[in-house]
Amino acid sequence: MATLTRLALKDFRNHAEALIVPGPGLVILTGENGAGKTNILEAVSLLTPGRGLRGAALSDMGRSDGPGGFAIGARLGDGVDLGTGTLAAAPERRQVRINGADASANKLSEWLSVLWLTPAMDRLFQESAGGRRRFLDRLVLAREPGHAQHSTRYEAATRARNKLLAEPDSADPAWLAALEAGMAEHGAAIAEARARTVTALGARLADQPHGPFARAGIALTGWMPAISDARTALAIELRNGRGRDAAAGRALAGPHRSDLAVTHLDKRMAAELCSTGEQKALLLGIVLAHADLIAEARDQRPILLLDEVAAHLDPMRRAALFSRLQEAGGQNWMTGTEPALFADARGTATRLTISTQGIA
C-alpha cells in the first residue's frame, strides 16, 4: 500500500520551504483561502507523470519571488525516495530522480498511483472532450503504468505527422509512413487500455449498492477502431486520411478524438444534464470506485487528493465519505477552510493547519 511518509517542498508555489510528515489514513489540511493547501496537493500530484492536478506550466510552479526553479521530494512507506522539480536555468525542463538516480517522469507511475478531485473539475461534463480524456487517462495510468509512455510517444508522432502534412512538397513518404506506424502502435495501445479500464470500472460501478453517492455509468464514445484490430484500423484510417488531415491541419482519427460519456444510472440521465451537486457526486463515486479497483489490480491503493470536497457535501454525505475512506484504508489527503468540516472523521488522521507563516 503506497503512502507518503515525508514530503518536502522548496520554492514551490507560495512555499519557500515546507516539510510534512504524514501518517497513514486521512491527511487533513485546513487553513484560510490562499494559504497554500491546494499547492501541497499539487506537489503530491507531481510525483506522477504529467503536469499535476492543475495542468499548469512548469515555469509557473516556482515561487514568484524565488530563484526560478523548485523542488519536491518525497519518501514512500517502503523507503523509496522520489523527487521532481526544475532548475532556474531551465524552468520548463522537468527533472526526476528515483532513489537518487535520474529517471523519466513516466517511471514515477511504477512507484506511485495518485488520483484527485478538485473544484476545477466541477465543469468536467460541460467542457471539451479533452478534459474528460485527461480524466480518463489518469484513471488508466493508475491501473496500467505503461499508459504514460504510449501517450507520450503517440503525441510526439502525431505532432511530427501534422508538421509533415503541412509541408506536402517536402514530405518524405517513408518518414510519413513510419510516423503513422508509430501512431497506430501507440494509439491502439491507448485505445485498448482505455477500453479495459472503462469495462472494469463500469462493471464495478453498476454492481455498487444504492448509497449516498450517485452511481455512474461510463462508456467510450467518439472515435473507435472500425475493426477489432485497433492497430490495423488506425493505420488504415491514417493512410487513407492524409489529404483530409492536411486540409484540417490535424489528425481526425485516433484516440485523441475519443470521449468519455457518463450517466446517472439511477436517474438514467446524462451527467451534463444533472445538477452541479449530482455531477460532483458522480465524479466522487467514480474516483472512489476506481481506487478500489486499483487496490485489487495492483495490490496498492492509490493516494487520493480531495480538494475542498467536504465543503460541498451535506453532513450525512461527509460522514459517509470519511467512513468509506477509513474503511478502505490507504492515504487520503483532504483540504478545507474549517476544521469543523472534518469533525466526523474518526480513526487515524494527520491534521495540519496551513498558513502563510508555515505549517502547524
What is the chain's percent helix, strand, coil content, to nearest 5? 45, 25, 30
Tell me, what's the pLDDT at 28? 97
For position 170, what pLDDT does the model report? 74
What φ, ψ does residue 354 adopt, rounded to 5°?
Answer: -105, 130
Domain membership of residue 147 (yes or no) is no
List alpha helices for 46-172, DSSP H. 129-143, 147-165
- Which residues make Cβ contacts (< 8 Å) with residue 101, sequence separation at least 6? none
Q: What are phi and psi of 73, to 5 degrees?
A: -125, 145
Q: What is the spatial distance between Cα 265 and Cα 203, in angstroms, rounded to a whole number?
A: 12
Please give the pLDDT value at position 162: 96
The pLDDT value recorded for residue 1 is 56
Is residue 29 one of the residues assigned to a domain?
Answer: yes
Q: Looking at the domain assignment, is residue 330 inside a domain?
A: yes
In terms of residue numbers, what domain contains 339?
Answer: 1-113+300-360
pLDDT digits (tens, 9 = 90+) for 65-87: 999 999 999 999 999 999 999 99
Contact by Cβ (8 Å): 26, 350 = yes
Residues of the chain with pLDDT under 50: none
Instruction: With respect to residue 338, please indicate whether it lies within any of the assigned structural domains.
Output: yes
- Distance (Å, whole) CA 39 – CA 53: 10
For residue 20, the one-letter residue type is I
Give the span between the Cα atoms of 293 and 127, in whole angstroms.
Answer: 27
Q: Is residue 231 part of a domain?
A: no
Domain count, the chain: 1
Residue 203 has phi, psi (to 5 degrees) of -65, -40
Q: What are phi and psi of 259, to 5 degrees?
A: -145, 160
At 168 the pLDDT is: 78
Dig out the grid coordinates for 57 from the structure: 506550466
Q: Please count the other Cβ atoms lying within 10 Å of the Cβ belonging to residue 171.
A: 16
Which H helix or E strand runs over 216?
A: strand 216-222
User: Is 121 contained in some domain?
Assistant: no
Q: Where are the alpha helices (DSSP H) in the chain?
A: 37-45, 129-143, 147-165, 173-207, 230-240, 242-248, 276-298, 315-328
Q: Is 290 a member of any domain?
A: no
- The CATH number linked to 76 is 3.40.50.300
> 193 in a domain, yes or no?
no
